[in-house]
Chain A
Amino acid sequence: MTMTPTTTRGQALTRRQTLAAGIAGAGLLAGLSPVRAQANEIVIGGSIPLTGVFAFAGVGINDGIADYVKIVNEAGGIQGRKVRYIPEDTGYKVDQSVAVFNKITGSNPVSFYYSDSTGFAKTINPELNRKNSMIMAGASFASELNNPKAYPNQFVAGPDYSEMIGVLLEYIAKTQPGARLALVNSDTEFGRDPVAATEAMAAKLKLPIAVKIVTPPTSVDVSTEVLKLRRANPDFTLFHGYILAPLPEFMSQAKQLGLKTKFMGTFWSMDNSIWARVGEPADGFMGVMPYRYYYDEAPDAPMLQKIRAMRPEYQSTAYMQGFLTAMLFCESAKRALAAGQELTAPNLKAALNTLKDFDTGGIIGVPITLSGNTIPVGRVYRYDAAAKRMIGEGDWIRLGKDAG
């Protein structure tokens, strides 16, 4: 080991002391534990992706859940019991998300949990079944979760990805029978999720698939994909597995080429504020939304009025998703407690399954019923660049009820 030159030692020591102090400080923090819930509270835990690739949604989800919990508590809680929401950031990473789960459920009597990803939902499922004390919903609409046998303690606060595409296909079959489709999916778990189901449903509805395009998650330029699209010349192009990019570029290039295809997306690419920033090229973009938009002034939507009173500025679709998830959590607790049951996973899930034509206060435009693990409803919206808003097209579509 060589000696440090004496001339620099003094300075080096102070740097090291700073570093040591920093480490000591961090250690001190580690010794203290976070705030715990008080007895008798109903706890909603949450692995929320506040940083990382899904952060844009996590922020909205977090606000949505927090706001609904606030509304419930201001109204006196559930059967006099307060609801407490304990979120923590996961960075959209499964290992961190599991750590957060262990931390929150280890020190609180958690009855409900919000999951941030499909990966986490699958990873934690055995543990949920073992604990049998809480039910979980989250940001994942993966078709795989719509299986009450394999995922008895989970549900999806909306349609799963296949059902979203199903809503779109029903809309297409109704407005333009026999239309030719193009499927554009990102090469991720999220993007590939509904492909097989889409093909089956399209075949059933007699909608031929002209081309299937897969884009790698890092791709920026879509010129070659647009060229493929031009060759196939579909009537409708269905995107899934994207938030925003590369949809606007797809659409503006298709417009340059004079393609007449209509573009459609699924829930996570339907936020109004994101499309508002795209401006003109966004005009005519359609997609499926399971929830109403923040600005919807339908008379049967008192909950949206309440949200607008609480938050005067626009709230994202992710906010609505979090808000509705919290509402379903609280509703199932209310029903279980009203029946004099303990808050265990089977009781909560059974309570949730008693929801028949439940009124969400207008968050969803029709009364909902939980079938399987999902709520298979949705409505097609179309973006109007002049009004800077997503505008509803046709009626709400309930899968398996109104049509085949």
Chain B
Amino acid sequence: MRIGALKTSYAADHALFDTPVQRAWLGLGAALLLAFPFVADDYWLYLACLVAIHVIATTGLNILTGFTGLVSLGHAAFMGVGAYTAALMEIRLGAPFLLNLLGGGLMAAGVGVLVGLPSLRVKGLYLAIATIAASFILHFVFQNWSTVTGGIAGLSVPPARILGIELARPAALYWVILPLAGLSVLAAANLFRTRIGRAFIAIRDRDISAEILGIPLLRYKLMSFGLSAFYAGLAGGLFAYFFRSITPESFPLVYSIFFLAAVIVGGMGTILGGILGAAFMTMVPEVLKLGVGLASPWLPNAVAILSPVRTVVFGLLIIGFLIFEPHGLAEIWRRIRRFFHLWPFRT
């Protein structure tokens, strides 16, 4: 039960984490994440890294779609730009790992700004389709600019190195990917306490009003596109080092749809939603597979028989969530929090 929150300063009211309980839980969560590699096996570490990469990319898309109200279906292509840039910097220049990640992010941001250019004239679904167009054109570039991108066979990426230590396995990359994911999310959360972030929200709520309030639409929309693509590029760079092989087919349109689904299922326009959505979308197929595995003692050949059922269940889960909980997983989380805050007054 929480009686009330006493705040004595404006800064306290503004704080990201406002209650001691929340801070305690966060500390516990961080400790668990630190301990995780010591107890988990390769499979779970792999999934943790994948979820973390997806969290970065989803948070990026959330900045654009959830906070600025611009739908993009080119997110996977931006990731591809980041992945190719990082891989090329590694292979051609031998530049250090973290710099390559940054380079991937910046290059993706540049491309993102370019792709965002139509956003001033084009809105809603038309914009979404324009970004699909951009992603197909990028795919074409990956595939046909063979001298640079390696064409259809793609690029093989050497393992990441920091200070001479080779980070080749999920267990080692975990220590880079997870902190980066944490930093990215924290940066995004802080963004919306600044003028820029609030300008994004104003544009989402009503772009014309925002312009009248003195927010230059083009500049802020492009900034949002650039930032969002930066996140995608960073995730793409990590993707390149994580999978060690990138081809044009690594970044298909369905991957963009995957991120959009993660944003919506998690909860648009909430930082927590990006995290929950990415985790949910990555883990559901795995959890469903475990379910199929459980059936195998009773049903020989269960894997073959039940796999199409999984496709159906996956679709139904998305539909069910959106019908029953249109504000996403973040809303469920808030409801749980409120329950404990109000307990025992409202049960």
Contact = CB atoms under 8 A, between A and B. Distances in A.
Query: Does A touch B (CB under 8 Å) in the complex?
Result: yes
B293 interface: yes
Interface stretch (A59-67, A306-314, A333-341, A376-384): A59-67
Nearest to A26: B287
Interface stretch (B66-74, B121-129, B302-310): B302-310
A297 interface: no
A1 B270 CA distance: 14
B247 A189 contact: yes
Given A89-B310, A119-B249, A123-B244, A102 B325 contact: no
Contact of A106 (B41, B249, B308, B320): B41
B25 to A, nearest CB: 18
A379 to B, nearest CB: 29
B245 A122 contact: yes
A144 B283 CA distance: 32
Given A51-B311, A89-B310, A32 B290 contact: yes
A24 B241 CA distance: 34
Contacts of B50: 95, 99
A10 interface: no
B38 interface: no
A29 interface: yes
B292 to A, nearest CB: 7
A318 interface: no
A55 B310 CA distance: 13
Interface string A368-404: 0000000000000000000000000000000000000
B37 to A, nearest CB: 14
B168 interface: yes
Interface string B188-211: 000000000000000000000000
B153 A63 contact: no
A29 B249 contact: no
A388 B176 CA distance: 58
B303 A48 contact: yes
Given A30-B290, A98-B46, A98-B243, A51 B310 contact: yes
B308 A88 contact: no
A15 B322 CA distance: 12
Contacts of B283: 30
B18 interface: no
Interface string A21-40: 00000110110111100000
A89 B313 CA distance: 15
A126 B42 contact: no
Contacts of B310: 51, 89
A91 B243 contact: no
A105 interface: yes
A176 interface: no
B308 A51 contact: yes
Given A35-B297, A102-B43, A144-B153, A126 B159 contact: yes
A102 B244 contact: no
Given A87-B303, A119-B247, A130-B168, A19 B290 contact: no
A356 interface: no
Given A59-B304, A119-B250, A102 B290 contact: no
Interface residues of B, number: 51
Interface in B276-297: 283-287, 289-294, 296-297
- State the majority secondary structure of interface residues on B: helix
Contact of B294 (A29, A59, A89): A29
Given A32-B294, A94-B243, A89 B303 contact: yes
A253 B8 CA distance: 81
A30 B301 contact: no
A302 to B, nearest CB: 25
A348 interface: no
A176 B42 CA distance: 55
B290 A29 contact: yes
Contacts of A34: 290, 293-294, 296
Contacts of A62: 301, 303-304
B170 interface: yes
A231 interface: no
B304 A50 contact: yes
Interface string B114-125: 000000000000
A29 B291 contact: yes
B153 A89 contact: no
B307 A89 contact: yes
A354 interface: no
Given A89-B289, A102-B46, A35 B304 contact: no
A96 B247 CA distance: 16
Interface in A104-140: 105-107, 119, 122-123, 125-127, 130
A206 interface: no
A29 B320 CA distance: 20
B93 to A, nearest CB: 21
B320 A19 contact: yes
Contact of B42 (A19, A96, A105, A119): A105
B199 to A, nearest CB: 24
Contacts of B334: 1
A298 to B, nearest CB: 29
B156 to A, nearest CB: 7
5 contacts: A16-B324, A32-B290, A33-B290, A50-B307, A99-B47
Q: Which 4 A-B pairs have the closest CB atoms?
A: A34-B293, A50-B307, A103-B43, A102-B43
